[in-house]
Homo-oligomer: A and B are copies of this chain.
Amino acid sequence: MADVIEILKKYSEDVDKEIEEALSTLEPSSLFESSGHLIKAGGKKFRPALTVLSCQAVGGETDKALKTAAALELIHTFSLIHDDIMDNDDTRRGMPAVHKKWGEPLAILAGDTLFAKAYETIIKTADENIAYERVIDALRVLVDSCIKICEGQALDMAFEDSFEVTKDEYMNMIYKKTGALITGATTAGAIIGGATSFQKQQLDLYGRKIGLAFQIQDDYIDLTGDESIGKPVGSDLVEGKKTLMVVYALEKANEEDHDRLIELLSAGNESIIPEAMDILNKYGAINYARSVAYDCVIEAKEALMTLPNTEARDSLMKLADFVFTRNA
């Protein structure tokens, strides 16, 4: 774990500098401050690390990937700001959510601003001796990620009213909601680093698989984590979210348990958590989700093994494990 923290920290200052520079000219001060709020609050910087490491893993120079890495973090932050409005969440990274501090109108604008700044930042890569074609390719990947994020979020919302979500539908939803930007991070890094088409494909696969594992782990933490990380345990059950655990249990349960689980998930209050957990456990839903996430991590690491043996590849291996072992 200490290793992973070091990997994530290694370029985070450089990335922060790029972001700070990108936001420095914003006016008025209300927009400048609201846009920078969550960036200042920290965050793991997981996606920028993936971008830099993917660039390095195919032999690219670190410096050339920093703006793309910053763009990834800007897109991630934009999506957090808008998600918090949509989910009406009060806090993020231990701070008040942007819309809680500045109101919804400015929070919508702050998100939009970061979204545009992400593209501005990656386009500036074109001034750094990187072929236009690569910049356009990286942009294509990022835009595609952004569209998928919106689709994934809309699917997640649509699933709230349905109890017939299949595993395939769930995997498609989390690939879009969470996996697409993680895939975008690895693939854009690979492109900027000058990856061959095979290398790009492998880093795309790696990103896709750890992205899926990342979201499954998020849902697992929600059920089993401790409250100290900010979110109350079991909040996804209260909100009726269709996590892999719920999807699996609804599929495997006998009629009585199936109908009871639907009843519990529809209640919308915390008192249902223990009984809902019992049903999930009865059908081994939590172990099942763990095994799916584990398989994803294995596949991600297999994809990496096709790349040259470098320190960057080693770090990406550790990040794949981290996705499955983290508890926050």
Contacts and interface: CB of A to CB of B under 8 A. Distances in A.
Interface of A: 26-28, 30-31, 82, 85-87, 104-106, 108-109, 111-113, 115-117, 119-120, 123, 126, 132-133, 135-136, 139-140, 143-144, 146-147, 149-151, 153-155, 157-158
A85 B112 contact: no
Q: What secondary structure prevails in chain A residues at the interface with B?
A: helix
Given A28-B154, A106-B154, A116-B147, 18 more contacts: A26-B151, A30-B157, A30-B158, A31-B151, A82-B109, A85-B105, A86-B104, A86-B105, A104-B104, A112-B146, A113-B151, A115-B146, A120-B143, A120-B144, A123-B136, A132-B133, A136-B136, A139-B139
Copies of this chain, whole number: 2
Contacts of A146: 112, 115-116, 119
A144 B26 CA distance: 12
Contact of A136 (B126, B149, B153, B157): B126
Given A26-B151, A112-B82, A132 B143 contact: no
Interface centre among A109, A113, A158 (most CB of B within 10 A): A109
A149 B26 CA distance: 11
Given A30-B154, A143-B119, A86 B108 contact: yes
A121 to B, nearest CB: 9
A112 B115 contact: yes
15 contacts: A27-B154, A86-B104, A105-B157, A106-B157, A108-B108, A112-B115, A112-B149, A112-B150, A116-B143, A119-B119, A120-B140, A120-B147, A123-B139, A132-B133, A139-B139
